[in-house]
Chain A
């Protein structure tokens, strides 16, 4: 009986029998480095290796048999076996070939030529394998997962993963797909600058309007947030999803190559040159050396680069980030001086020129009290705890890019403007052009420009099952919804008939559902047992919800039942409670159906009572009070 009277607060869902405290982790999946953290009782902790290192290089080396290693060891192999090593794969997430930057006309990736019928996503040739960026990211994620499991001593299957705020829908979807392949349920994709703000707000008690300047290995974001009393409200965000430390390496490497190493470089040599450039960049941020050597095929070439030249080389890129900061301030309707402080995030903010320019724009010394390399993972871990354990913290993020659809003449009509708080949904009405037309295509784009070709193509949504009518008579309401992960879903309905249209998604740069299914099937990590366990967990959550609902109803309206009826329902409850403890999913489903049946009459009686009360005006006032309290 005691369990029957258990009443839960609104919005609080009990998770019965979850089997011990399994912590969800926070993952900062970076272009150059990744960091894993976990938070328990509001106490975030970075997971470090034996040598105290938090950063796991996002570098992966494959063996011919498909096995792989991730991290520093893979980085070491870059010199001996560059053809087996992939770095900066994040830059390819949800992207097409034309987005990949080449050095002296050569890509730092060995790319498989594409065939016509394939989706726009590139495939890389690594150690004799052909791998998608999603698969490579999944392998990096599973290494990070293993690292966390070793630390925590339990299975880790839930995580908050951070993404650049400026990541578009394709790149977000690709990240979520990678996690799925690695056997990780993504509790939420959190924007990196928002995660950093969360870390400052919760860990350091920072309050007010702040800017977060996040310059990582491959991406740049700036977000302006209002932080007060546990509310983190993003006012505006902006960035460049292809601007980061990697691009600094590129300009340095190009500078080195001006002295000509040799005429034509191969992919491996490009990787080596970029690595040397990176070392030079890192050194020049702390000391002033000016000679560098690159060794290719046993021939060493020497190159000059001092601090001043280095700063001259990267200056246009840094200025570009400052221009973006100005635009974001405009979007937030704030002048830089009205912003209380600016937080630095990402390894590239160690470069003195970057710090200097940021300080000049905002008129104050930027903050870096929390290690810029680790702060995002700290925020992700705090959010992972908030999502699983519960929290009073509220995080309101926005869409980074305007969402539009293609109209006549290749123009874009904006449906959801950038910096709209998510989740958001907007509907748009369409009609048919031809008599009896039953299908149509909606082309969704992301970006700020007027023409389709200047924006990023997201996907083509094919609507089928429109009821045949004369041209122009159908009213097809297409709803574009962006969820809390920043992901787009499209649904469509014909308004005059109420017929729901089917929507098939053809992502422009991603894997489609069939490919995903195939990859999941191939993936050893996502074996049948895992799948079964997941389904079992789901049916337990659902059964728990059901038990909770019936208990609540009984404790309120028991008087509507005879003692026999009460005993009958009671018996079915006990049965369901029993099977939920076991592992037989079919038994749980069946017992849940039994409960549904057993309480059908009870539910009707309760509705009758409620309707009578409403009609008599009884209780309505008290209900109203409840409504206005929210």
Chain B
């Protein structure tokens, strides 16, 4: 094989995601955490959070499955598994664990997942400011709920409000799921703003609950 061929092929292979294992120098796919041949831990590579955690790129995810899969990945890749390994392996395991944590933290929570998915699907296509609050109804709703919270004097009242907000959040997530399914990214982008406000409200109700305990 002559030199030119190798370069072109290597280039192509790189695009296909084949790289050389740092340890045994053999071929290894970019997304694989361990070399198939020698078992050495690999650098995390560039893949999106869904792919990294073995999920389809979708707003609907099975949280219990995600938890278990995340734990299994960390069981193999966390720096605690490499406490007596070489410096190189320690460093790679830290990089792996860091990217897995980042992916998990982003995807496990619906709001962050929606943010990430909107970015991933259509970062440049959306009109500017579609996630800003320009929705009168939303503003009114938020103000009304906040006032209601301020007027709460008993734990029961706060609990009722908290339940209401949580139900609203549930509905919001269901609608988001439908919008993403229908590929209405602009609609999803708008709706996640409402989710953000509702989440903030539940945090505030929690603080209020603590004060009354």
A residues bordering B, Cβ < 8 Å? 7-13, 15, 158, 187-188, 231, 326-327, 329-330, 333, 335-336, 361, 383, 386-388, 390, 392, 394-396, 420-425, 481, 483-484, 538, 541-542, 545-546, 548-550, 552-553, 556-557, 599, 603, 606-615, 620, 623-624, 626-628, 630
A615 touches B89 (CB 8 A): no
B97 within 8 A of A: yes
B79 touches A483 (CB 8 A): yes
Min C-beta distance of A618 to chain B, whole Å:
12
Min C-beta distance of B173 to chain A, whole Å:
16
| Residue of B whose beta carbon sits closest to that of A629 | B54
Given A10-B39, A188-B80, A549-B23, CB of A481 within 8 Å of CB of B34: no
Q: Which 9 pairs from chain A and chain B are nearest by CB?
A: A610-B27, A603-B25, A10-B34, A549-B24, A387-B83, A552-B38, A611-B13, A549-B38, A606-B26
A421 touches B105 (CB 8 A): yes
B206 touches A330 (CB 8 A): yes
The listed residue (B36, B203, B206) touching A623 by CB distance below 8 A is: B36
Given A13-B82, A396-B74, A542-B86, CB of A628 within 8 Å of CB of B54: yes
24 inter-chain pairs at a CB distance below 8 angstroms, sorted by A residue, are A10-B35, A11-B39, A11-B41, A11-B77, A13-B82, A386-B80, A390-B81, A395-B78, A424-B98, A484-B78, A484-B80, A484-B94, A548-B38, A549-B38, A557-B37, A603-B25, A610-B27, A611-B9, A611-B10, A613-B27, A614-B13, A623-B32, A627-B32, A630-B73
B25 touches A336 (CB 8 A): no
B48 within 8 A of A: no
Given A542-B86, A614-B27, CB of A553 within 8 Å of CB of B79: no
B13 touches A615 (CB 8 A): yes
Chain A hits for B85, CB < 8 A: 13, 541, 545
Given A423-B97, A603-B26, CB of A329 within 8 Å of CB of B39: no
A333 touches B206 (CB 8 A): yes
The listed residue (A483, A546, A603, A626) touching B94 by CB distance below 8 A is: A483
Min C-beta distance of B158 to chain A, whole Å:
11
| Residue of B whose beta carbon sits closest to that of A388 | B84
Min C-beta distance of A234 to chain B, whole Å:
12
B31 within 8 A of A: yes
B177 within 8 A of A: no
Chain B hits for A613, CB < 8 A: 27
A423 touches B79 (CB 8 A): yes
Interface residues on B, range: 35 or more
- Chain B 10-36 against A: per-residue CB contact (8 Å), 1 yes, 0 no? 101100111011011111110111111
B54 touches A484 (CB 8 A): no
Residue among B24, B40, B81, B82 with most chain A CB within 10 A? B24
B142 within 8 A of A: no
Chain B hits for A608, CB < 8 A: 1, 6, 9
Min C-beta distance of A184 to chain B, whole Å:
14
A626 touches B23 (CB 8 A): no
A553 touches B25 (CB 8 A): yes
| Residue of B whose beta carbon sits closest to that of A390 | B81
Chain B hits for A9, CB < 8 A: 39
B83 touches A552 (CB 8 A): no
Chain A hits for B81, CB < 8 A: 11, 390
A610 touches B74 (CB 8 A): no
Min C-beta distance of A603 to chain B, whole Å:
3
| Residue of B whose beta carbon sits closest to that of A615 | B12
Chain B hits for A420, CB < 8 A: 101, 105
Given A549-B40, A603-B26, A630-B69, CB of A610 within 8 Å of CB of B213: no
B209 within 8 A of A: yes
Min C-beta distance of A189 to chain B, whole Å:
12
Min C-beta distance of A491 to chain B, whole Å:
12
B residues bordering A, Cβ < 8 Å? 1, 6, 9-10, 12-13, 16-18, 20-21, 23-29, 31-41, 54, 69, 71-87, 89, 94, 97-98, 101-102, 104-105, 203, 206-207, 209-210, 213
CA distance A7 to B36 in the complex (A): 11
Given A329-B210, A335-B209, A484-B79, CB of A545 within 8 Å of CB of B89: yes
CA distance A361 to B54 in the complex (A): 41
Min C-beta distance of A31 to chain B, whole Å:
26
Min C-beta distance of A617 to chain B, whole Å:
9
Min C-beta distance of A166 to chain B, whole Å:
20
Residue among A327, A329, A630 with most chain B CB within 10 A? A630
Min C-beta distance of B37 to chain A, whole Å:
5
B80 touches A11 (CB 8 A): no
Min C-beta distance of B120 to chain A, whole Å:
18
A630 touches B33 (CB 8 A): yes
CA distance A368 to B78 in the complex (A): 30
Chain A hits for B41, CB < 8 A: 10-11
CA distance A231 to B73 in the complex (A): 12
The listed residue (B37, B84, B97) touching A552 by CB distance below 8 A is: B37
| Residue of A whose beta carbon sits closest to that of B42 | A10
The listed residue (A330, A395, A549, A630) touching B80 by CB distance below 8 A is: A395
Chain B hits for A548, CB < 8 A: 38-39
Chain A hits for B25, CB < 8 A: 549, 553, 599, 603, 606-607
Chain A hits for B79, CB < 8 A: 423, 483-484
The listed residue (A158, A421, A552) touching B24 by CB distance below 8 A is: A552
| Residue of B whose beta carbon sits closest to that of A550 | B24
Chain A hits for B26, CB < 8 A: 553, 556-557, 603, 606-607, 610
| Residue of B whose beta carbon sits closest to that of A186 | B83
Chain B hits for A630, CB < 8 A: 33, 54, 69, 72-73, 76
Given A12-B39, A333-B206, A396-B74, CB of A609 within 8 Å of CB of B27: yes
Chain B hits for A15, CB < 8 A: 84
Chain A hits for B12, CB < 8 A: 611, 615
Chain A hits for B72, CB < 8 A: 630
Chain A hits for B104, CB < 8 A: 421
Min C-beta distance of B19 to chain A, whole Å:
9
Chain B hits for A615, CB < 8 A: 9, 12-13, 16
| Residue of A whose beta carbon sits closest to that of B87 | A538
B39 touches A7 (CB 8 A): yes
CA distance A553 to B83 in the complex (A): 25
The listed residue (B6, B13, B32, B75) touching A626 by CB distance below 8 A is: B32
Residue among B1, B17, B77, B210 with most chain A CB within 10 A? B210
Min C-beta distance of A321 to chain B, whole Å:
15
A187 touches B84 (CB 8 A): yes
CA distance A48 to B9 in the complex (A): 65
CA distance A553 to B17 in the complex (A): 20
| Residue of B whose beta carbon sits closest to that of A610 | B27
Chain A hits for B34, CB < 8 A: 10-11
Min C-beta distance of A236 to chain B, whole Å:
12
Chain B hits for A387, CB < 8 A: 80, 83-84
| Residue of A whose beta carbon sits closest to that of B94 | A423
A553 touches B37 (CB 8 A): yes
Chain A hits for B10, CB < 8 A: 607, 611
CA distance A48 to B54 in the complex (A): 48
| Residue of A whose beta carbon sits closest to that of B18 | A614
| Residue of A whose beta carbon sits closest to that of B202 | A333
